[in-house]
């Protein structure tokens, strides 16, 4: 699965995830800063009366215009691959909006041609109000419509909340996102490479799972069969992702050390049974491990408009704050009433010319 990075954030993450990724950006300058000999860089030019834009200025309309210049190339690439983008900026939001609208317009897309989306959401409490507003419009509009059409693959919602709260450098945070994705994407390869003890998840099973139009929340941790699986799931939630809703479908890969008990997966099945979910799973033997290790993916269908409730609240607060500050900074200048006749009499007395100055002003129409 090839990584396709859209916009600044998408370019940086895709280049770390896939050394031969394809990058699209309105800003050629920013795209060229990303190192990698095998990267495929495609500029999405947008022209104005003053010349070519060097960026999208946090304006998704510019990004949407840029999409028209690269629409055919993207259409050929996205099938069966991964699109990585942020929702707050102009280029990522605008171009990804174009992709989603085209996907929505198709009657049906076959499983092998579904697109897997990784979207990075802003942290509403600390990032720009424009980012938050752009994300609200994106999720309530093109993303919701594409999901309803059934034509998207899984959508993974990363959040910048952890980055800002823990004060993590951007490059380090992008690497954390990539490392997390790599754990999830390695499931079918591990199933093929390691000794199979129970169940089965091959590449066809995995591709079918990620082709479904649901939100995907995955996490992974050292599994202790002596403790409650539910408590372990809660304690090891993926802090890079938005919290999930109740699972509709699930998948897990359990790796046990050489000579370990392969039957410990039954407790995991009991947990999902209590959730009324029948997961697909694979149990493999990994001789490199000292403890059992599990990777779990849950699909849920919470609508985008439900996801942005908090964003809407923050956006309303930002708008109200601007209004309040505008009111506070508004200064009413007192109206100054000036009597020219009165002032002329005062000036005349000072200069000793008496009423002559008043007569002159009346003649020239000033009084």
Q: Which structural domains are found in the chain, ordered by start?
A: 1-173 (3.40.50.1440), 186-303 (3.30.1330), 316-359 (no CATH)
Res. 293 pLDDT band, cuts 50 70 90: very high
Burial of residue 120 (number of CB atoms within 10 Å: 0-12, 13-18, 19+): buried
- List the structure tokens of 320: 């109200």
Q: 22-76, pLDDT tens digit by residue?
A: 999 999 889 999 999 999 999 998 875 444 556 677 899 999 999 999 999 999 9
**CB proximity list for 78: less than 8 A, separation 6 or greater:** 4, 99, 115
Residue at token pair 């601007």? 322
Q: 195-228, pLDDT tens digit by residue?
A: 999 999 999 999 999 999 999 999 999 999 999 9
* C-beta separation of 53 from 43 below 8 A: no
Whole-number pLDDT of residue 355: 60
Whole-number pLDDT of residue 58: 85
* C-beta separation of 215 from 301 below 8 A: yes
Is the predicted pLDDT of residue 324 greater than 70, yes or no?
no
**CB proximity list for 307: less than 8 A, separation 6 or greater:** 139, 157, 242
């Amino acid at each position: 699965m090839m990584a396709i990075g859209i916009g600044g954030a998408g370019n940086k993450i895709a280049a770390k995830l896939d050394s031969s990724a394809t990058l699209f950006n309105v800003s050629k300058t920013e795209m060229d800063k990303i190192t990698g000999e095998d990267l495929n860089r495609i500029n999405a030019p947008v022209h104005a009366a003053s010349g070519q834009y060097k960026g999208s200025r946090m304006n998704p309309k510019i990004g949407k215009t840029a999409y028209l210049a690269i629409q055919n190339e993207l259409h050929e690439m996205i099938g069966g691959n991964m699109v990585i983008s942020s929702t707050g900026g102009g280029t990522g939001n605008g171009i990804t909006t174009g992709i989603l609208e085209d996907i929505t317009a198709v009657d049906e897309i076959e499983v092998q041609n579904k697109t897997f989306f990784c979207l990075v959401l802003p942290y509403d409490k600390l990032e720009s109000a424009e980012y938050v507003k752009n994300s609200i419009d994106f999720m309530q509009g093109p993303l919701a419509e594409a999901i309803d059409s059934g034509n998207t693959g899984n959508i993974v919602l990363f959040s910048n909340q952890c980055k800002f709260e823990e004060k993590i450098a951007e490059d380090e945070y992008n690497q954390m996102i990539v490392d997390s994705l790599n754990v999830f994407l390695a499931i079918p390869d591990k199933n093929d490479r390691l000794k199979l003890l129970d169940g089965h998840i091959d590449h066809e099973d995995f591709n079918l799972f990620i082709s479904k139009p649901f939100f995907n929340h995955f996490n992974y941790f050292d599994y202790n069969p002596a403790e409650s699986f539910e408590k372990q799931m809660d304690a090891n939630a993926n802090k890079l992702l938005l919290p999930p809703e109740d699972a509709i479908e699930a998948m897990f890969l359990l790796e046990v050390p050489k000579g370990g008990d392969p039957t410990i997966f039954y407790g995991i099945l009991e947990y999902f049974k209590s959730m009324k979910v029948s997961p697909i799973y694979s149990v493999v033997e990994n001789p490199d491990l000292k403890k059992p290790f599990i990777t779990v993916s849950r699909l849920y269908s919470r609508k985008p408009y439900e996801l942005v409730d908090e964003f809407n609240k923050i956006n309303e607060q930002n708008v109200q704050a601007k209004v309040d500050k505008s009111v506070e900074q508004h200064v009413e200048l007192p109206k100054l009433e000036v009597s020219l006749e009165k002032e002329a009499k005062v000036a005349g007395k000072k200069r000793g010319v008496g009423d002559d100055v008043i007569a002159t002003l009346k003649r020239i129409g000033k009084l």
